[in-house]
């Protein structure tokens, strides 16, 4: 497999420290609000990457943090802690906010068929690990105390800006123009490893440390959690492209200074989901969530397909028109699969193996998911029987996770139920194959036949209250949920 490496800025042959085994780390959410679909694009693509690695024969240990403390409003160690901001907004405790939005995040992931990582660790559960690392960095001279806080000294490194070719002067203080310089820093690129109460008197979560009561900086959390669960040698680190600097840059700096050897050779960054007005973000109010998609009648897997149709290293523009196109594509694809006959002959394993190798080659070229979608159509056109076509599709869906066969089977069952819903008197009911609804429709027909108009009207009102729209047609009735 070849994968683009943000560190080398080229497609490299994927290699691991231990042959056949992948230690994988994913930057998880800061759980102060719902995840918007731009955030979730990264998690969809990381999910596909993990599943493809397993599909290709690797054993994978994937670790994800949950940031429930230490992530400030600016990535450059200024502003309010995002968790405290969420707690104030909703008049709840920080931990109540953290639990609620952690649950909401994984609920969204489940709807999008994103597999839960092997290890999920809230940042507040590894305080001892951070203190151990910070203490070592102070002893080695890579960190210093100033204004009550502990800072990492970037001037001690031969190279700090590992993800770009910028000179130090090219990067503004605190990353963003609106951020004021921290006067405690010796160098403008230095970053906080541990905050004490000298930084925020009202910080909700605080722990004892050798430097005073306080809490960890955002960057140290990922290093500490990864080292605890992935070990000293990480094979693959994932995240959104906006995390490359300063977050991932700082992770590398502190981790390699602490360990004394290279830490993670392969970095995988997913690019932004944009709207027509620019990058999607919570602060702009462009707050599109999975729940909103559902309210508007979209299956969340339509959004997954929308993401898979594009390459992860390209910006993706969201619009309702584009999502409608993905919905049409998904529905047509399911109908084509539903038309296949599962009992049509034995599965030809040689043909399945042939198409599996093509899929490995195509998607294995820098996680080319658009070619993975093309492979589905190639399978539908394969010169073989339907049972073999379905086996190929099931094989590919281990990676794509679009529920192709199960949803196609639902369509088959609906069609079968519609075909057999006919009363002895020749009255045909066309609907979604729900026996309870069909029985009510038939009772209404019998009431009308007996000229019992009051009962017929009562049943129609009952169906309407159940969200059923009923239409009389020659020789029967049609119903649908609205």
Please report, in range form, the residues annotated as the binding site for Zn(2+): 27, 222, 247, 251
Distance, in Å, from the CA atom of 265 to the CA atom of 85, rounded to the nearest integer, reads: 35
The pair of structure tokens assigned to 74 is 């600016």
Distance, in Å, from the CA atom of 354 to the CA atom of 340, rounded to the nearest integer, reads: 20
The pair of structure tokens assigned to 373 is 């979608």
Distance, in Å, from the CA atom of 48 to the CA atom of 3, rounded to the nearest integer, reads: 13
CB contact at 8 A, 21 and 53:
no
Backbone angles phi, psi at 391, to 5 degrees: -65, -40
- Residues annotated in a binding site: 27, 222, 247, 251, 282
Distance, in Å, from the CA atom of 10 to the CA atom of 240, rounded to the nearest integer, reads: 18
14-20 long-range Cβ contacts below 8 angstroms, 24+ apart: 14/266, 15/265, 15/266, 16/58, 16/235, 16/236, 17/233, 17/235, 20/57, 20/58, 20/59
CB contact at 8 A, 219 and 246:
yes
The pair of structure tokens assigned to 47 is 């999910």
CA 238, distance to chain mean position in Å, is 11
Residue with tokens 């979209």: 298
Residue with tokens 């002959």: 345
- Residues annotated in a binding site for ATP: 282
Sign of the Cα pseudo-torsion (327, 289, 114, 220, in order): positive
Helices 249-259 and 127-140: angle between axes, nearest 10 degrees: 70
Residue 406 buriedness (CB in 10 A; 0-12 / 13-18 / 19+): exposed
The pair of structure tokens assigned to 7 is 């560190």
The pair of structure tokens assigned to 323 is 């999502």
Is 3 strand, coil or helix? strand
Nearest to 62 by CA among 264, 223, 221, 235: 235
């Amino acid at each position: 497999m070849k994968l683009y490496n943000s560190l080398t800025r080229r497609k490299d042959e994927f290699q691991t420290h231990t042959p056949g085994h992948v230690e994988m780390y994913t930057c998880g959410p800061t759980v102060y609000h719902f995840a918007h679909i731009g955030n979730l694009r990264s998690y969809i693509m990381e999910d596909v990457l993990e599943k493809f690695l397993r599909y290709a024969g690797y054993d994978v240990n994937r670790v994800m943090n949950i940031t429930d403390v230490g992530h400030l409003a600016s990535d450059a160690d200024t502003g309010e802690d995002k968790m405290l901001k969420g707690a104030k907004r909703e008049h709840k405790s920080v931990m109540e906010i953290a639990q609620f939005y952690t649950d909401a995040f994984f609920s969204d992931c489940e709807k999008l068929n994103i597999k839960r990582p092997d290890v999920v660790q809230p940042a507040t559960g590894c305080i001892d690990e951070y203190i151990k690392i910070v203490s070592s960095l102070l002893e080695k001279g890579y960190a210093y105390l100033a204004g009550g806080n502990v800072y990492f000294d970037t001037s001690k490194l031969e190279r700090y800006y590992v993800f770009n070719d910028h000179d130090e002067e090219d990067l503004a203080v605190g990353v963003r123009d609106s951020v004021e310089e921290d006067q405690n820093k010796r160098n403008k690129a230095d970053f906080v490893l541990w905050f004490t109460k000298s930084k925020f008197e009202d910080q909700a979560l605080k722990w004892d440390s050798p430097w005073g009561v306080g809490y960890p900086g955002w960057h140290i959390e990922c290093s500490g959690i990864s080292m605890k669960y992935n070990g000293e040698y990480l094979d693959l680190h994932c995240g959104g492209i906006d995390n490359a600097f300063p977050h991932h840059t700082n992770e590398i700096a502190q981790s390699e200074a602490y360990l004394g050897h290279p830490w993670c050779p392969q970095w995988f960054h997913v690019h932004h989901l944009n709207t027509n007005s620019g990058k999607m973000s919570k602060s702009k109010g462009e707050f599109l969530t999975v729940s909103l998609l559902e309210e508007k009648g979209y299956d969340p897997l339509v959004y997954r397909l929308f993401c898979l149709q594009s390459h992860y290293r390209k910006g993706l523009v969201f619009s309702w028109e584009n999502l409608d196109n993905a919905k049409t594509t998904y529905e047509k694809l399911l109908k084509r699969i539903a038309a296949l006959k599962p009992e049509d002959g034995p599965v030809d394993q040689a043909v399945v193996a042939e198409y599996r190798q093509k899929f490995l080659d195509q998607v294995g070229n820098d996680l080319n998911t658009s070619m993975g979608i093309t492979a589905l159509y190639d399978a539908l056109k394969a010169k073989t029987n339907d049972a073999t076509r379905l086996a190929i599709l099931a094989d590919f869906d281990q990676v794509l996770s679009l529920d192709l066969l199960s949803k196609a089977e639902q369509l088959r069952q609906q069609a079968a139920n519609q075909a057999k819903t006919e009363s002895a008197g020749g009255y045909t009911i066309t609907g979604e194959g729900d026996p309870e609804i069909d029985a009510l429709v038939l009772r209404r027909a019998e009431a009308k036949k007996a000229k019992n108009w009051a009962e017929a009207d009562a049943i129609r009102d009952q169906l309407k209250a159940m969200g059923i729209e009923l239409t009389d047609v020659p020789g029967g009735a049609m119903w649908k949920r609205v």
